[in-house]
Amino acid sequence: MTLPLRKVLVANRGEIAVRVLRACREMGLATVAVASEADRHARHARLADETVVIGPAPPLESYLRIEAILDAARRTGADAVHPGYGFLAESAAFAAACRDAGLVFVGPAPATIRAMGEKTAARRAMAAAGVPVVPGAELPAPSADGELDAAAVRATAARVGYPLLVKAAFGGGGKGMRLVGDERDVIGAAAAAAREARKAFGDGAVYLERYLERPRHVEVQVFGDTRGNVVQLGERECSIQRRHQKIVEESPSPALTPTLRTRMAEAAVAAARAVGYVNAGTVEFLLDASGEFYFLEMNTRLQVEHPVTEWVTGLDLVRAQLLVAAGEALPWRQDEIVPRGHAIECRLYAEEPAHGFRPSVGRVLLLAEPSGPGVRLDSGIVAGDEITMHYDPLLAKLSVHGPDRAAAIARALTALCDYALLGVGTNAEYLQAILDHPAFRQGATHTGFIEEHLSDWKPGRPQDEDDALVAAAVHAGLVGPKSEDGESRTAAPPSPWSGLGRFRLRGLA
């Protein structure tokens, strides 16, 4: 198949940039990476055919500069832009700017992004389409100086009922969100949420939503094309979260019956059709203990957890994104999408779970990655990279596939044991504790799982300083120089982990 696209610029960094660049290479498309000055030698920058440095390390001066990205596309002759996820991926202004510049934006139309990005407007659209939404209400807009009408806040909260959530109308990731137990706290929480939302998203609009006790977070992958076709590719359970950020995802959800799965999938397709959705998107729901589900939001982009859907369906979502963006029809019909087995994804972060998940920074001195049947690691780093405070601390995504859930858990635990990184703290051991917890093994997950079961978690025996020095010395002596694309080395050194016997970052295995 010959596509009308020739060269794709990837407007992102890290593991998602690497993922998209590889998909483009497989499809015979030339690639352009953009990079901050801090990332000029990063893995994604070395993998692309061309790389354009677009500014200093801070995202506001590089990856969030629309004009700098468009200029890079013009200078390199790119005819399409893939936004990845994060940064400008859900920016209607960016999508519109790309199309105004004559570039194909690999994602939905600007109007769709705008409609689903404003949470209150999305709630109204979904209710009109017959998709159930969490009971809630909008608050009057803040005054010019950012103040909320206290009387209106109290009256609206009384109608919604306590406990409730104050949520930002724009954005996500837990920013601009506050849990309120009773009337005494609602004014302060609404004001704080509005301030945080204004700082994070440039708009202080907030709304109130009924708080569901111990819900599950279940989302459905949808895909539409310009021919009017819309399909769903099954659900993912994303209930394991820290600070409203997902860290473990799986498919299928252990909570859904066949009937509930059908109802939720039909609601997701209805949601996508209601806004004329094109390309990859995700409809997110909250599922309560009674089996009722409610629309939460729609992410108008590829999701971090898309590998679990690719595992169970055997389909390449990034390839399909590029095909649909080029005007092609979806490469599969609904009846051809048949899920098989069970998949789990764990997000590996540079952070310290025992210390409030604070970010960990430093140089990656040594990196050993798992492999084997049913194991996939999407990573944006290599040994020698510097992990800084400028970007999200996501290092890699470890995903596995097995014939059933128990087999997938066992495979994920084994793979996590084989992941080792020296120089920066990670949450690998914490992820093992989650997967090995009896409640997780039983499928008894909900969005408060971590607070309920792992709030006082502590790591095993602290890493011995002498072991770290030995490992660093082995690394310095064994790792050869990188090739130009950063994907191979001049020689294949023996594994330093094998050389150290049963050494692991947390002592002896």
Enumerate residues 6+ apart whose C-beta is below 8 A from 138.
120, 156, 169, 207, 208
C-alpha distances out from residue 44 to 121, 381, 483, Å: 36, 9, 14
Map 268-300 to HEC letters: HHHHHHHCCCCEEEEEEEEECCCCCEEEEEEEC
Question: In angstroms, what CA-CA distances link 313 with 12, 249, 317?
Answer: 26, 15, 10
What is the CA angle 237-239-242, rounded to 5?
140
- Predicted pLDDT of residue 501: 40
CATH 3.30.1490.20 for domain 135-210, yes or no, is yes
CB atoms within 10 A of CB 431: 23
Residue 142, pLDDT > 90, answer no
Distance between CA atoms of residues 185 and 207, nearest Å: 15
pLDDT of 486 strictly over 60: no
CA distances from 364 to 4, 59, 350, 384 (A): 40, 21, 10, 5
Average pLDDT of 75-100? 97
- Phi, psi angle pair for 424, to nearest 5°: -140, 135
pLDDT in tens, 207-222: 999 999 999 999 999 9
CATH code that applies to domain 7-106: 3.40.50.20
Domain with CATH 3.30.1490.20 in the chain: 135-210
Q: With a cut of 70, say whether residue 263 has pLDDT above it.
A: yes
Residue 425, H or E segment: none
Predicted confidence band at 175 (pLDDT cuts at 50, 70, 90)? confident
| Angstrom distance (rounded) from CA 509 to CA 507 | 7
Structural tokens at position 103: 């570039």
Q: Convert the pLDDT of each residue in 342-383 to its tens digit.
A: 999 999 999 999 999 999 999 999 999 999 999 999 999 999
Q: Is 155's pLDDT higher than 60?
A: yes
**Whole-prediction pTM:** 0.87
pLDDT at 439 over 60: yes
- What lies within 8 Å, CB to CB, of 483 at 6+ separation is 489, 490
All CATH 3.30.470.20 domain ranges in the chain, comma separated:
216-453
Alpha-carbon span 266 to 260, nearest angstrom: 10
pLDDT value of residue 201: 83
**Residue of 344 and 455 predicted with greater confidence:** 344
Query: Homologous superfamily of 216-453 in CATH?
Result: ATP-grasp fold, B domain (3.30.470.20)
